[in-house]
Structure formats: structure tokens, C-alpha cells
Amino acid sequence: MQTVAVIDYGMGNLHSAAKALEHVVPAGMKVQVTSDEKVIHSADRVVLPGVGAIRDCMAEIKRLGVDELVKDVVKSKPLMGICVGMQVLLEHSEENGGVDCIGLLPGHVSYFGRDLYEGDEHLKVPHMGWSRVKQSEHTLWSGIDDESRFYFVHSFYAQCPRRELVAGTCRYGVQLDAALTRDNLFAVQFHPEKSAKAGLQLLGNFLRWQP
């Protein structure tokens, strides 16, 4: 039996991600929410979710050795980061006065600020709701129309200087990176588990992905 491990490092809501994965999981594969290093190492693919403050997330990730774990597993199996689970894969976030992150992807995470504008419109922060994602060519977008809307909730956004690693962008006052990819890694700022059909399609594609 193939398994997909959802890494539980004690932060926030893993249930939504696990339930959505269970909804699209192919026959012969099972979803396991776990913090057990052995289970994660033996899984066929791995999901790193995350919500809440990044300092707390990184503290738990380091305490549990999840940083070394994800660096290791991504060498040999598909890994998906979601929301803060994407942000922690970059080098650094300015949230909570500045937090060093795992650094699997080049780039930084910045605050939208309270004076975020699109034209004359003063934008709300957090960026909460359904925004369009402009796709770059990637097999995980199969069956999803370009510029489909996904559900976002975040006050900090990622930007990667290596544009060839950007799989999707989104405009919200600034141009932000909504999806980043590198070898076995695919990470998204939005919540595919809360993005109705488009999100479920992306999760299903991830479960079948052979990078």
C-alpha cells in the first residue's frame, strides 16, 4: 500500500488537508497524519501543511527535526508545502521580527503592510479569499484552467528570485509567488484543500505526480 504522509508538527489545522487528500486519494493509497520520522521516511509522498505564526512553526519544525527530515525526503519523493508550509521552505521570513527558514527554495517572505493598494483601492490584509493564479507550465496544473481562482489566507507573501522555479503567480497589490517548484518539490501559498474543484484537482495531480 502506498502512503502519503501529512507531517504533524503540532501547528494548526491538518485536518482540512488530510480530509481533502482522503477525498481524492487513488485506490491503493492511504493518507497518514503523523509526526513519526519513520513513517514519514517510509511514505511515498509527503505533505507539509502549516498555519499560524511562522516563528512558532519554525520553532516546532526545528525542535522535531522536521527541517532535516524534509531536506532528506525531498531528495527521493514528492513533497508539497501548503501556505506557511510553503513559506518555511524559503530562506527567510520577516514575520515575527525575522525568522530564518529551511532554505530549500531561494527567496524571502515579506509583509503586505497596512498600506496596500491596487490603483485607488485600499486592499484588506490578510489577503483572504479567492484570487486568480497565473500558471507556468507544470504537470500539476493538468486539468485546471489557467487563471483559475484558489482560496488564499495570508498576511505575508513569498517572492523567489529564481523565476524558473515559479510555477504560479498572483496579483494582490504586489506580484506574489503563489506556487514554487524545484525537482520533487511543489509548494503553494493558497489552500488547495479549501479551493473546491480546482484545489482537489491539484491535490489529486500531486498524488499521481512522478517527477
Partner 1 sequence: MGLAKRIIPCLDVDNGRVVKGVQFVDIRDAGDPVEVARRYDEQGADEITFLDITASSDDRETTVHTVEAIASEVFIPLTVGGGIRTVDDIRTMLNAGADKVSINTAAVFNPEFVREAAEKFGSQCIVVAIDAKKVSQPGEDDRWEIFTHGGRKPTGLDAVDWAKKMEELGAGEILLTSMDQDGVKNGYDLGVTRAISEAVVIPVIASGGAGNLDHLVDGIVKGKADAVLAASIFHFGQHTIPEAKAYMADRGVEMRL
**CA distances (Å), 45 to each of 165, 176, 202, in order?**
20, 27, 15
In the set 83, 101, 160, 170, the catalytic residue is 83
Taking CB under 8 A as the rule, does residue 9 contact partner 1?
A: no
Annotated catalytic residue 147: no
Binding residues among 137-156 for partner 1 as defined by CB under 8 A? 147, 149, 151, 153-155
Q: What is the CA angle 102-139-173, rounded to 5?
A: 60
Taking CB under 8 A as the rule, does residue 59 contact partner 1?
A: no
User: Beta strand 121-122 with 108-111: parallel, antiparallel or unpaired?
Assistant: unpaired
**In which element (H, E) is residue 55 found?**
helix 54-63
Q: Which of 9, 141, 157, 172 binds partner 1 (CB under 8 A)?
A: 172
Total residues contacting partner 1 by CB under 8 A comes to 40
Annotated catalytic residue 41: no
Annotated catalytic residue 83: yes
- Candidate ranges 30-38, 47-55, 65-73, 181-189; the one touching partner 1 (CB under 8 A): 47-55
Q: Which of 8, 67, 177, 193 binds partner 1 (CB under 8 A)?
A: 193
**CA distances (Å), 175 to each of 13, 116, 170, 197, in order?**
27, 12, 6, 25
Which active-site residues does the annotation give?
83, 191, 193
